[in-house]
Amino acid sequence: MTDWHRSDLTVGDIRLATYSYGDAAESDRPAIVLVHGWPDTHHLWDNMAPQLAEHYRVFAYDTRGFGESTRPDDVASYRLDALAQDLFAVIDSVTDGGSAHVVAHDWGSVQTWEAVTTPGASTAIASFTSVSGPNLDFLAEWARAQLSSPTPGNIGRALSQVASSAYTGFFQIPGVSDAFFRALGSDKLWTEFLHAIEGTPRENVSFAPTLREDMISGLKLYRANIRGKLARPNPRPTSVPVLEVVNDRDIALRPAIYGRTYTHADKLWRKSSTTGHWLPYTNPAYLAATAIEFIDAIENGTSSAPNTIDRARQLGAPLPLTGKLAVITGAGSGIGRETAYALAALGCEVVLADIDTASADETATECKAKGVLTNVYELDVSKTSAVTEFAETVRARHGVPDIVVNNAGIGLGGSALDATEEQIDRLIDINLRGVISGSRAFAKQMVARGAGGHIVNLASAAAFTPSRELGLYSASKAGVLMFSESLRAELADHRIGVSAICPGIVNTNITAATEYAGVDDQEAMARKVSGFYEKRNYTPDKVAREIVRAVVSNKAVVPVTPEAKFGYRVYRFIPWVSRIAARAKLTG
């Protein structure tokens, strides 16, 4: 791209081609240095640089062995300690002895890890955003921990990473791997490869004209470092603020390998998404926004970007959903409250919405006690315009959510013939239209972001259990179930999961607020039904656990409670039994 301006830097016998983007002379802005990996050059950042340049002075360079920089012939010249000194020299040059924030990918991240664990690194490196590149010493330590405690889970995680890294063994064979890339290392073939493995767009992907040479000389990175680091790891601490961007669909690096980073990084944040290894190519806007968010937080103490990075703060061992942003409607009580507790306990920042903000505030108190950021909003999900406005508020103040739980709902019992039009409208507006509105508003944001996500919609066992006294309620929940199944199919290509949760008889306060069409003594009926639910005593925290499992495992339909699981199978395989049972009068 023409907006890169080159100026060379000499480090010993190595000439490094360094680049500034646009007008990088504005000294009042923080500096950011971008470090590429194999087999890329500074062109990896072509699609991110314009967005970053709106906030910082942007610099990049071709690391030794790549692009227009010197290509040493000997393998030893590619050791990580030498590469780390190159980075320090670039930072010193572009900042006149100051400090810079570093965003690095793949081997660029590996060598930056070497730099930030070098004593005194914090004087030169203000922060480090690590993308798809581990600290090799930490990786070796993690691998030894798995093998020293050979449980099925540990062995499985270790074998998964070995399988993902199998290509590195091939890269260790000089004659064979060099010849392979000499024959196949063309722009066209590499573009098709990236497109095939993770959907990297064929257009707007920039490679240097030296791609084939870069592929071959860059193999020395693997030969100079992997065997030595794995055989003799030397994990060192760092006080540099670090954000680990973890890609759940990384073909080379499994998320589990980052599990011990917190033991060495004093200031560690983490953000994960259902993205692949070459994130700077596949979703540069998302990665740029993530880096801006983090760097702003470090520069200002608080983030001026919408998606508050403090939610990804890692104070201990990584939790399953650390760094995720979750939105829960109907969070003031029952299943919504317990789901908020469960997600907060797993490291999610939670945004709580309820028509009763006083009850939502009570939920928020417990969530905050778990050490996560928590915010409360008043929301009436029956009003589509309010849901749309709420979604935009969440995006502007907190960012695009990773998890949305459309939980708000009401009950309506009694005869469908006796129900009033007002009761029917309210039921459908809240139970069905509210779910549709919330799903649509947030799904649009997730699709635009391009980093996946998960939507949970609360249906009910009533969706597949017909009853003469729950016909209208069942219809609203059956609509939620079928909408969720259909939306799941629609969003699959965007790696956005959709789960329909179908609880049976759960002891929540929905029974106390349920209206019963055609019943004169509403209070007596409410006491009777509530008493039955209390005796059943299936608590909402158990449903919350199933919701979390659905998110983690991307389950489609989740019947909860024994009667729901039984009813689901009966309706699927012997529906005539359900139809006969539906005639029974339950509340007479």
pLDDT tens string 407-463: 999 888 888 899 999 999 999 999 999 999 999 999 999 999 988 999 999 999 888
Considering only the top CATH level, what class is 325-581?
alpha beta
Give dist(CA 244, CA 201) in Å, integer. 24
Both structure tokens of 191: 């573009």
Q: Please report, rounded to a whole number, the percentage of residues in the chain having pLDDT higher than 90.
A: 58
Cα 119 from Cα 111, distance rounded (Å): 15
Which band of pLDDT confidence, cut at 50, 70 and 90, is reported for residue 316? low
Sign of the alpha-carbon torsion through 403, 564, 335, 386: positive
Over 50: is that where the pLDDT of 568 sits? yes
pLDDT at 415: 84
Gap between the Cα atoms of 289 and 1, Å rounded? 21
Are 67 and 210 spatial neighbours (Cβ–Cβ below 8 Å)? Answer: yes
pLDDT higher than 50, residue 214: yes
The hierarchical CATH code for the domain 4-314 is 3.40.50.1820
**Between 471-491 and 434-449, two packed helices, what is the crossing angle to 10 degrees?**
10
Helix boundaries (H) for 310-382: 334-345, 357-369
473 a catalytic residue: yes
Assign 204 a pLDDT band (cuts: 50, 70, 90): confident
C-alpha to C-alpha distance for 472 and 106, rounded to whole angstroms? 55
| Higher-pLDDT residue of 126, 202 | 126
pLDDT tens for 82-109 read 999 999 999 999 999 999 999 999 999 9
Residue bearing tokens 């069409």: 517
Q: How far is Cα 481 from Cα 568, in angstroms, rounded to an integer?
A: 12
Q: Which of 48-57, 219-228, 283-292, 308-317 has the lowest mean pLDDT?
A: 308-317
pLDDT tens digits for range 216-263:
999 999 999 998 888 899 999 999 999 999 988 888 888 888 888 888
Would the pLDDT of 44 be above 50?
A: yes
pLDDT at position 252 is 87
CA 17 – CA 67 distance, rounded (Å): 8
Q: How far apart are CA 190 and CA 417, in angstroms?
A: 65
Domains of the chain by residue range: 4-314, 325-581
pLDDT of residue 154: 76
Q: Please check whether the two domains, 4-314 and 325-581, share a CATH topology.
A: yes
The catalytic residue among 473, 516, 538, 568 is: 473
Burial status of residue 541 (CB atoms within 10 A of its CB: 0-12, 13-18, 19 or more): middle
What whole-number distance in Å separates Cα of residue 189 and Cα of residue 46? 20
Closest CA to 427 of 445, 406, 410, 452: 410
pLDDT of the residue at 314: 43
At 310 the pLDDT is 42
Q: What is the pTM of this model?
A: 0.79
Whether residue 255 has a cis bond before it, omega within 30° of 0: no
